[in-house]
Structure 1
Amino acid sequence: MVSAKASRVDDAYARLKADILHARIPPGHVATEPEIALRMGMSRTPIRETLIRLEAEGLVELIPRRGARILPISASAMREIYDILTSLEPDAAARVALARHSAETLQPLHDATSDMEAALERGDLDAWAEADERFHRQLMALTGNRRLQQIVAQLNDQAHRARIITVRLREPPVRSTVEHRAILDALLAGDGPLTRTLFREHRERAAQELLAILENLRLTQL
């Protein structure tokens, strides 16, 4: 049975992490524990434990006697993250394809792709970003490798912040949506090599697009 304290920590963690990932608390923002506790309507104890967890995930930096800083999003950090994702995800996706899962098992990926297409059609970029993140998370879940899922999820959390902030600074993600549909088709066909190629190309293109925007933002702030 989950204790009341653990439940409060889990609640604080989920809520504060969501605020960070969706940029409701901007990168670089510094707040004390009492300020965060007031924002969350909680005591300081679950907030302190939450911040320790978020620091381990690379989302905040604990500052002695000052509280916590939401880590900024830098082009160099995103380059490292996408290098790792591009190394891990395509091979993992290829293994999922070679496992020849049924259409029913792959249905969550179909749903996520359809949700991306529908969100793009109505211009809802927040819903598009959520469906995009869901596609990648559910695909990694099909590997059955929990350690891989944890590593990729942590990196994707950091990349998700950057996508949320930059999604309105670029052209509508039509190409990315088309790429997800092509990856899904390759998965349904059980074509491992094609899935690997398409996924790698998707990650490499997305990285180049994101890094270009982050570099431009950095230059305009100088």
Structure 2
Amino acid sequence: MERVLRQDRVTPGAPSPTRPSLAEAAYAALKASILEGLLPPGHEAVEQAIADQLGMSRTPVHEAVLRLQHEGMVRILPRRGVMVLPIDPEDLRQTYQVLIALEGEAAALLAARGEAAAATRAAMREATDVMVAALQAGDRAAWAAADDRFHRALLAGCGNPKLARLAENAADQAQRARAATAARRPEPETSGIEHEAIMAALAAGNPEAARTALARHRARASADILRALGR
């Protein structure tokens, strides 16, 4: 628990946040720690210990944990605390099927938006460039953060907020699986090439090519992660 949300601790003497904002802060901190692999699958913690580290009472932490349980990230263990859910290979396989369908549709919608999506394409370009540089520098954490920005930008810019919200949970599950298997997978050199194919389809305004390129990218990533999990 030592590494969870250290910089997000409530500062003594600062104006007292409301309970909803404390619950949101606890949720954001815990979720980020799970997605980044700081709290790996199977990790158990006591809510009061989390609250102490965050500098808040147990109530907003419990509210955050309930929300994360609803999202399939953790399980509340009666009289024991909370556990980050292990990654089930079959569940992950199904999650990627959902993600490919939703994110593929988002890519197609984005391609059809033309110049209205110029800012989104620029953000995706920047993320891809950072990925390539991070890989060359051997910085897997920076690579993973940039890869996540690429996909989140795609969803945010597709023009369908409901679709984006549905895809977010699947993207979160994929992200934590990627973090959990990072040490067991080869260098992700293929991802930059696949991102370039997606970007080319978007720039050409070709929805079906964008959908296909995105599906190939996510399917390959899914296969790599499942292989690392022994499936």
Same fold, TM-score > 0.5, yes or no: yes
Match of 2:215 among 200, 203, 222: 200
Deviates more, 1:164-173 or 1:202-211: 164-173
Deviation at 1:47? 0.5
Matched, 1:126 2:144: no
SS across alignment from 2:230: helix
SS across alignment from 1:106: helix
The residue type equivalent to 2:24 in the other structure is D
Match of 2:34 in 1: 20
Match of 2:74 in 1: 60
Question: CA offsets per residue over residues 134-186 of structure 1, 9 Å max, x none?
Answer: 11111011122222111211111111111112223222111111101111111
Contact 2:194 2:213 in 1 (8 A): yes
Matched, 1:145 2:153: no
Tell me: CA distance 1:195–1:62, structure 2 relative to 1, closer, same or farther (3 Å): same
| CA distance in structure 2 between the aligned counterparts of 1:61 and 1:104, rounded to whole angstroms | 39
RMSD of equivalent CA atoms: 1.7
Match of 2:109 in 1: 95
Matched, 1:73 2:87: yes
| CA distance in structure 2 between the aligned counterparts of 1:126 and 1:187, rounded to whole angstroms | 27
| CA distance in structure 2 between the aligned counterparts of 1:165 and 1:63, rounded to whole angstroms | 22
Q: How many residues align?
A: 215
Q: How does 1:178-189 map to 2 (within 5 A)?
A: 178-189=193-204
Matched, 1:174 2:189: yes
| CA distance in structure 2 between the aligned counterparts of 1:81 and 1:93, rounded to whole angstroms | 18
| CA distance in structure 2 between the aligned counterparts of 1:26 and 1:143, rounded to whole angstroms | 31
| CA distance in structure 1 between the aligned counterparts of 2:188 and 2:55, rounded to whole angstroms | 37
Contact 1:28 1:69 in 2 (8 A): yes
Contact 1:126 1:164 in 2 (8 A): no
The residue type equivalent to 1:204 in the other structure is A
Match of 2:126 in 1: 111
Deviates more, 1:179-188 or 1:3-12: 3-12
Matched, 1:210 2:225: yes
| CA distance in structure 2 between the aligned counterparts of 1:164 and 1:83, rounded to whole angstroms | 19
Gaps of 5+ in 1: 217-222
Deviation at 1:3? 6.0
How high is the TM-score relative to the length of structure 2?
0.88
| CA distance in structure 2 between the aligned counterparts of 1:33 and 1:204, rounded to whole angstroms | 37
Match of 2:206 in 1: 191
| CA distance in structure 2 between the aligned counterparts of 1:105 and 1:126, rounded to whole angstroms | 23
The residue type equivalent to 2:177 in the other structure is A
